[in-house]
Structure formats: structure tokens, C-alpha cells
Structure 1
Amino acid sequence: MHFPVSGVDVFPLIPPLVAFLVSTMTAPAGVSGAFLLLPFQVSVLGFVSPAVSPTNLIYNIVAIPGGLYRYIKEGRMAWPLTWVVIVGTLPGVFAGSLIRIQYLPDPRAFKLFVGLVLLYLGVRTLYESTGRAREGKKKQKALEQKFKARVQQQKEQIKGRLAAGLPADAVVRTKSVSLSRIEYEFWGETFSFSTMTIFILALVVGLIGGIYGIGGGAIIAPFVVSVMGLPIYTVAGAALAGTFLTSIAGVTFFEILALTSYAADKVVRPDWALGALFGVGGLAGTYVGARFQKYLPERWIKVLLGILITGLALEYIIQFFV
């Protein structure tokens, strides 16, 4: 099948199958599969124009809504955190889109940028499998065990009829919001973070995401969990929401740029058909990966994934210099 926008010729079942396999592998590690789909499009499908970045964002638009709906329904959305992430990420995405078209249209330079981003993600994933990283997650693990024990207790009390899948008190409650600090309560404990720190982080991540074609959740979530000590139960929803909305904004911005003289001599319009095929596979793979997470050893998932990502990163970086 020929995709005229991207110029790619591929059997139509290949994109959703690849996306399904990638997201099934990455979902148990809590990492988005979008960052691995772009190298597949560039290196295997030969999709190297700037249009590959917004096409990759379409994957997020299709694959995310199911998980996001679940977090909202269960009351695990830290809305102040979510809005700070969105407000910070959006201008970064717009700036990143312009940089992608103006300064990184060359596939060789773009591969170097992709390699550097993947190197960070790969090393970060490998670090999280070490004893030192696991030691730092003791508080998070304790919260997780408390969460699971309470859910099981309530399931037994009401004989399996757990209304919304969560205990009534396992929801996020905002305590205070200001330009300097945001505080919220979850599961009987209070968490807080610097508003400007999250805003600046989101701005940088948005810039990277606009260039690369990812929403940035794979970068934001590990940082706020491991460095700022926020519980993953409240961070995941905010990261997903930020990724979803900024992906929509990124795709829309690329579409607008395609109509201007700024991108007159470049292919920047996203390939909606190809992106949607990847998204459908990712939607199914994310569900399967999350479902089977409990049967897989977390440490080995992260080790294998970290090796794969780091190896791919080094290959791209080396290609630039040889």
C-alpha cells in the first residue's frame, strides 16, 4: 500500500502490528512507545522528512484516550499538576516544531538529535533497574502496597462489587494552588511541588517533543516521580493528559505551517492514514501490556528495554560521525 503524504510503501498490517508489539513491550515499564516508533519510520520505512514528527504524534492522539479516561474516572488526576504541564509544554511544542522544520530537516542531523534523546531515555531506564534506584523508591513502594491492600480489603467487604475500581479515599484532593507551590492529598498523604520547576521542565520537554514527535510523558513522568517524589498513581494521568493535548496541538501546528511560506519547500503535513494505523496498534498494545504487567518481573523489563533503547541511540549517534 502506498501512503502518498509520506511516500512510504508498506503492507497496511505492518504499522499496527509494529505499534502493537512496541507498546506491549513498553507499557509494562510505564514508558510510551512513541519514541521507538519514530526510529522505525525513519530507518525501516524510510520516512525522513519533517512530516514524520507530526505523524508520530498522531499515534499519541489515537492511543491515549482510553487510559486517560480511566484515570479521570478513578479520580486519580492531579489537575493542578496537569494544567501546569500543559501550559508549559504547549509553547515548547510550537517552538520545537519550528526548529524541526528550519534547522533539522536533514535526516542525518535529525538522527543525531533522536539518538541523544534515546540515549537519555535508555540510560534512565537502565538506572531505574539498579539497586540504588530501587532503594529510592521505598516510599513509593510502601504507598503502592498500602493502595493494593486497601483495594483488596474493600473488594472482600463488598464481595467483589467495587464501585469505581478504587476505594473512596484513594482520589486526588487539591489543598492549595499558587504560582510558587502546589499541594495535594492522595491516600492520606500530602505531596507538594514547585510550580515553576514543573513549568520549566514541561517547557523543555515540549521543545524536545515538538522536534522529535513525542508528547514528552516518557521524560516528565520519571523525573517528577524519582526526583520530586510524587506518586506515580497521580503523575501518570497528568503526563498522559499533557501528552495527549500537546500532541493535538503539535499536529495542528504542523498542518498550519504546511500552508505557510515557512515550509514551502519541505514536506511537513502529517500522514494521517499512516499515523492512525500506528495508533490503532498502540491502543491495543497498551491495553495488553498493562494487563500482563503483573506477570512480568519489572527489573528485567527495564533492563531489556534500556539495553534496546541505548543500543539504538548509540547506533544513531555513531552514524552521524562516520
Structure 2
Amino acid sequence: MSPVLSFLWAIWVGWIFSTVGAFGGVMAGVGHMTVFGLGGYAKSLGKNTPLNKIVTDSIKASNQWLVGTSGLISSFNYYRMGRLVLPLAVALGAGSIIGAWASAYFTAGKVSFSSYQGYFGLFVLVLGLYLFWETSPAGQAHKKKAKEAAKAFEEAVKKQKSGEKIDESAIGVKVKAFTMSRCVFTFSGVEFSFNPILPVVGGIVISAIAAFLGVGGGFLLVPFLTSISELPMYLAAGTSALAVLVSMITSIITLVSKGTPLDWTLIGTELVGIVIGSIIGPRTSKYFSDTLLKRIFIVLALYVGIDYVLRGFFNYRIFG
């Protein structure tokens, strides 16, 4: 594997995750499986051989190292920018600890690469189709608050770009009240609220699926945050990043404790790229509209989903 290619790919992974709040693990997986050829290597070992399953677990753990590092940097940057809903991220993270541990513990060494690749693609494809519906008039009907906040934030950014000084703290997240049954906060002057129990349960389910797939879970967390919690994408990215970080730490520790081997030369090279991409992402995301960020998400989901379902379940390559 070319160290230059792995470095450049890692910059892309760090950028997309820190910008959208998702798809870092998916893109890391695409890199390890397809771009670097580990998927073909795993398949050459035989579907149900122990080594095939060990390589599969190694790919999952490698993905998680990259996403966890990006999550650490991204969540810190978004918090400083006032674009991270800390109580919501903590609630998701609490649930993530349970789900990530259970999934990694009970599936390590038991899943062949073909099955892993197929399920990887299936989850991503279903998500892409759901998000496509969500951008339709019917899907947008219940998102008045998210639209209002996104519009106010975009207008503030336009003023900033034109040289006008703005008070960034005034448009950032401000928690107004927190109880065991309700948390209230504002963003760009728009008030939001949620029940903390819901994200804990959501965190358990999402992190269990994510740990099985060897990804961060942002591709499920972001729809959860934008649909169920009705947040604008500008808040979903940072909030997702912190929840993903907690899940990744739990899953990595569990896989390593089960004896999963890792290529530290490859991971070390990629982590340098991840740091660069993750620093750039939060600083550039404000220049993309809320709608454009969602469309980037959907295009990637449909492309990866269709390709990997066909490769994993039917051994058919339609793309490349």
C-alpha cells in the first residue's frame, strides 16, 4: 500500500467526517477494502476461514481508529465554535458505550468479509434512500425549526464573509435548562428541546450497528439528530462527532482485547492525514449550505451502498 495514497485518502476521510458529521467510517472502510485492496485479500483467503475473519476485524478496527481520532479533533473544534449540543452528545455517548461493547464483543471473529461488506453496503443504501425521501417536500414538512436556525446561521456567515463583524457567541448553542426529562437550548436564536432518555436508547442501537460494521455510526447519528431531534446539519456534525468518539473508544478497546491485529505503520500514516482533514473540516463547513451538506451525504450513501451490496452478497462489481 502506497503511504502517499493512504495519507491523502485519510485527509479526505477526516474532512468528510468533520464536515458532515458522518461517513468518516464509511470512507475509511472504502479505503481499506477497495482503494488499498484489503477486501480482495480477505476474499482470497476463503469465505469461512479464521484468517478471513481476522482480516475483517482488523479492517473494522482500523476504520475505527481513524474515525475516533477525527471525532476527537472535530468535537473539540465544534465545541469552541458553539456548534455542539453537549447534553445531547453526552446522552448519545452514554448509550454508545453499551451498544459498542456488546456488538464488538459478540461479533469479533465470527463474520466473514463478504457478509461484512454486504451488510456494510445494505445499511448505507437504506440510509441513502431514507435521506433522499427526507429532502422531499413531505420529508421537509416537519423541519421548520431546523430550517429557521440554518437560515439564521447562513445569514450570519454571509455577513461575516462580507467583512461585517458578528458576535459568534450569539449564534452558538446555549443550554437554557436541563432535567432528566427535558433539555432546552437555542441555536441562532431558535429554541430546541429533547428528552434525554431518547438519545440514550438511540445511542445503544446506533453504536451496536456501527460497531458491527466497523464504522463510527455518524451515518446513522446524523439522520437521528436531523430527523428525530430536528437539528440543522450545522449542529449535527459536531454533536455526532463527540458521540462517535465515545463509541469508537469502547469498540477499539473491545476488539484489541479480543486479539485483533493492526498494521500500525498504515494507521500511523493515516492518522497524520486524519488530523489535517479534521482541522480543515469544521473551518470550511460553514461555507456549505445545509441543503448541500445533505446532498453530499445522499450521493455518497447511494454510491457506496449499491456497490457494496452487489460486491458482498452477489460478488458482482458494477463500479470499478
Give the alignment of 1:107-146 within 5 angstroms: 107-146=113-152
The match for 1:42 is 33
Give the match's secondary structure for 1:247: helix
Give the match's secondary structure for 2:56: coil
Asked whether 1:197 is paired with 2:204, we answer: no
CA RMSD of aligned residues (A): 3.2
Give per-residue Cα distances to partners, 1:122-174, cap 9 Å, x unaligned. Answer: 32343345444345544322212212334555788xx6565xx7143533214
C-alpha distance in 2, partners of 1:253/1:26? 23
Asked whether 1:278 is paired with 2:270, we answer: yes
The match for 1:314 is 309
C-alpha distance in 2, partners of 1:146/1:302? 22
Quote the offset at 1:175 in angstroms: 0.6
Give the alignment of 1:20-99 within 5 angstroms: 20-21=11-12, 30-43=21-34, 44-45=37-38, 46=41, 48-99=55-106
Give the match's secondary structure for 2:120: helix
Is the 8 Å Cα contact of residues 193 and 228 (structure 1) preserved in structure 2? yes
C-alpha distance in 2, partners of 1:188/1:283? 32
The match for 1:264 is none
C-alpha distance in 1, partners of 2:88/2:267? 29
Is the 8 Å Cα contact of residues 50 and 101 (structure 1) preserved in structure 2? yes
Is the 8 Å Cα contact of residues 123 and 310 (structure 1) preserved in structure 2? no
The match for 1:217 is 218
Quote the offset at 1:316 in angstroms: 3.4
Give the alignment of 1:237-248 within 5 angstroms: 237-248=238-249
TM-score where L is the length of structure 1: 0.78
Moved over 6 A (4+): none
Residue 3 (structure 2) aligned to one of 9, 12, 23: 12
Higher mean alpha-carbon deviation, 238-247 vs 127-136, is at 127-136
TM-score where L is the length of structure 2: 0.78
The match for 2:299 is 304
Query: Could you say if the C-alpha distance between residues 25 and 55 of structure 1 is closer, same or farther in structure 2, counting changes exceeding 3 Å?
Result: closer
Asked whether 1:148 is paired with 2:150, we answer: no
Give per-residue Cα distances to partners, 1:26-82, cap 9 Å, x unaligned. Answer: 766553222132143234223533122111111013323332222221233322212
Counting matched residue pairs gives 298
Is the 8 Å Cα contact of residues 116 and 317 (structure 1) preserved in structure 2? no
Query: Could you say if the C-alpha distance between residues 125 and 160 of structure 1 is closer, same or farther in structure 2, counting changes exceeding 3 Å?
Result: same
Query: Could you say if the C-alpha distance between residues 186 and 315 of structure 1 is closer, same or farther in structure 2, counting changes exceeding 3 Å?
Result: same
C-alpha distance in 1, partners of 2:297/2:86? 29
Is the 8 Å Cα contact of residues 118 and 310 (structure 1) preserved in structure 2? yes
Give the match's secondary structure for 1:49: helix
C-alpha distance in 2, partners of 1:131/1:84? 31
Give the match's secondary structure for 2:94: helix
Is the 8 Å Cα contact of residues 22 and 219 (structure 2) preserved in structure 1? yes
C-alpha distance in 2, partners of 1:167/1:93? 34
Q: Extract unaligned runs of 5+ from structure 1.
A: 1-9, 259-267
